[in-house]
Amino acid sequence: MKYDKVTIIGVTACVLAFFLMAYFLPRPTRPAPQPDAGEQQVGTTTPAPETTTPAAPAPTPAAPVAPAPLSLREPWPAPSQPPVALVRPDEAVAMVAPDGGGIAEVVLDHYVQDKPQRGKTPPEKVVLGHYDYPFLALVQDPAGLNLDSGATVTSQTETELTITRQSTDKRLQVTETWATFPEGTYEWRYTVTVSNLGDSSQLLPGLRLEAGALPPSVSPNRKASRGEAAGGAAIGLFNESKTHSFDLKSLSKLSLEKQSELAMLPTQWTAVHSKYFLFALWSFDQPLVGVDASAVPSIHQEGVPTHEYGRCRLRAILSGPVTLPPGESKTWTVGAYAGPKNYHRLHGMKNGLDTIMDMNRFFFWRPAWMGFLSRVLLDGMVWISGLFPASIGWGMGIICLTLLVKLLFWPLSHKSTVSMRRMQALQPQLKELREKYKDDPTKMYRKQQELFKEHKVSQFGGCLPMLFQIPVFFALFNTFRNAVELRHAGFLWAFDLSMPDTLAFSPSFLPIRPLALLMGATMYWQQKITPSPDPQQAKMMNMMTVFFMVLFYGMPSALTLYMTVNYVLGILQTIITRKLEARKQPA
């Protein structure tokens, strides 16, 4: 087989393209058909009280927890009392249901649903969650609590709420506290204490806590639709670097065996997330026993008739069976995060929560150095973007970063271009060798290598720049796909750099995206002026141009901007190299 430059480039490009298509472009798949749960952020639900008779397994901390009887798909009833606001100044407001319904929603101060536009009504702030699938709400079933519907507020401030409830037989008392966590950002703390008020031991089969349910980030604006970004869920295992990740489709099809396995996995943290936001919780005292996981009913989005979405839902299992002697209490405390998927904030927690952003993805692996490279490039773009006006900051940051990367690889790219031109000049001699030694491939190969060595030509020189830039490309891809900093950051005609630069639809179903078209045009131009060993290889490269333009047509405009600028700089580099080589030629 002939392992020439184009073969290697083609194989590398195809592997890269396969990964990108498999990971970035798939359409969201509907969960198993369920009753409609209303619109995202706003909806009505049917009350579904969660009370059952407590079971009586042996009080062993590691006892298996059977997820089968759980009603994970059933929504919570509407709060019976007005919610209480807990404020994190200049960050977020959590609306807590004082009847024990947990955090119904979290309003983020610095994030809006859609990009603000001049002359139009200011968009609403981002609201995470809804009372029908709350966050940090204690699940009575199957804990055997059987609590009264009423709750007493024992303490209330702007940053903390404490309520007390009792069981219907007055033998158990539950005290819950929701509070801001001052040491963190977008962080909260939840504490639950169960006290035995009776004169005999009480058995709690196990405590579960709602870990939230988030739909994908969807905008009614067709040009700004985030419909391709499905929601997901993840759990971090205790004392392991491995993270279990799920999308809506996989959660909706979880087998009973898999559910049982997840319910018994010692867990460090749980997370449910959309493209840019997440709910996460972790235990302060000891590992979580496991999680219950499911996909909950589809959400029909008003104004987005062509898409249908579900939500990933998790419940954290705080404990296995617990026996409370008379007069004694047991307390559990968890930390929580409700806010943007900011890589630096999540990475700074040092608990592996940042892995949900996949900033360390490299083909099918997740090496630590890729996460570091992605973080460095993100920091660079944030710093550069701050040097320009906000309206063009991120676009200029991408352009400047592309220029820096191109300058970094200039020596290697220059040598590659020179080598390719020399290879092109050797084509007549190579053709003679093929004709002369066509019956002796071994000798033909040896003679070719001698010819390359004599004229200082590297057969693989043209591939090296591309191979060395692949990690940089992946780091940029990871950054542009995940960075919440890019959300609503526009540039020129690009409405939002985190999405394709759709200007219009013509016809009604075909989006017009100039950056992708410009990328294809500049890539074709560069191929035309780049030395090619033979017409067959040039034809293959032209086909790759069309393939890449189609591939990038649905990707974030930040990535197509980077590729377009990269090809423009490549064209300038080729022209400069030609002039430098021409000066070296004898007059």
pLDDT in tens, 31-86: 333 333 333 333 333 333 343 334 434 434 444 444 333 445 677 888 888 899 99
Domain assignment of residue 576, given as a range: 5-22+383-584
Residue 364 inside a domain? The answer is: no
Residue 202 inside a domain? The answer is: yes
pLDDT of residue 444: 82
pLDDT of residue 462: 59
Strand, helix or coil at 160? strand
Taking 90 as the threshold, does the pLDDT of residue 533 lie above it?
no
Do 480 and 391 sit in the same domain of this protein?
yes
pLDDT in tens, 82-103: 899 999 988 999 999 998 889 9
pLDDT of residue 177: 95
In the block, residue with structure tokens 């981002």? 126
pLDDT in tens, 543-561: 888 888 888 888 888 888 9
pLDDT of residue 554: 80
Average pLDDT, the chain: 77
Do 466 and 428 sit in the same domain of this protein?
yes
Residue 368: other Cβ atoms inside 10 A: 9
Of the pLDDT bands very low, low, confident and very high (cuts 50, 70, 90), residue 272 is very high
Q: Summarize the confidence of residues 514-522 as an average pLDDT.
A: 88
Do 91 and 123 sit in the same domain of this protein?
yes
Backbone angles phi, psi at 67, to 5 degrees: -80, -10
Residue 221 inside a domain? The answer is: yes
Chosen domain end from 311, 342, 357:
357
Do 18 and 35 sit in the same domain of this protein?
no
pLDDT of residue 512: 84
In the block, residue with structure tokens 């005999």? 200
Q: Summarize the confidence of residues 117-125 as an average pLDDT.
A: 75
Q: Summarize the confidence of residues 335-358 as an average pLDDT.
A: 88
Q: How many CA atoms lie within 13 A of 364 on its CB side?
A: 3
Q: Do β-strands 277-283 and 267-273 pair in parallel, antiparallel, or remain unpaired?
A: antiparallel
Which range among 357-366, 457-466, 488-497 shows the weakest confidence by mean pLDDT?
Answer: 457-466
pLDDT of residue 30: 37
pLDDT in tens, 419-465: 777 777 777 887 788 888 878 888 888 887 887 777 777 666 556 66
Residue 371 inside a domain? The answer is: no
**pTM listed for this prediction:** 0.76
Do 349 and 395 sit in the same domain of this protein?
no
Choose from 43-57, 254-268, 283-297 the range with maximum mean pLDDT: 254-268
Tokens for 518?
A: 């410009």
Do 275 and 422 sit in the same domain of this protein?
no
Residue 373 inside a domain? The answer is: no
DSSP string, 42-108: -------------------TT-----TT--TTSPPPPPSS--EEEEETTTEEEEEETTTTEEEEEEE
CATH code of the domain covering residue 87:
2.70.98.90
Chosen domain end from 357, 375, 410:
357
Residue 369 inside a domain? The answer is: no
Residue 509 inside a domain? The answer is: yes
Do 64 and 173 sit in the same domain of this protein?
yes
pLDDT of residue 176: 94
Do 253 and 130 sit in the same domain of this protein?
yes
Domain total in the chain? 2
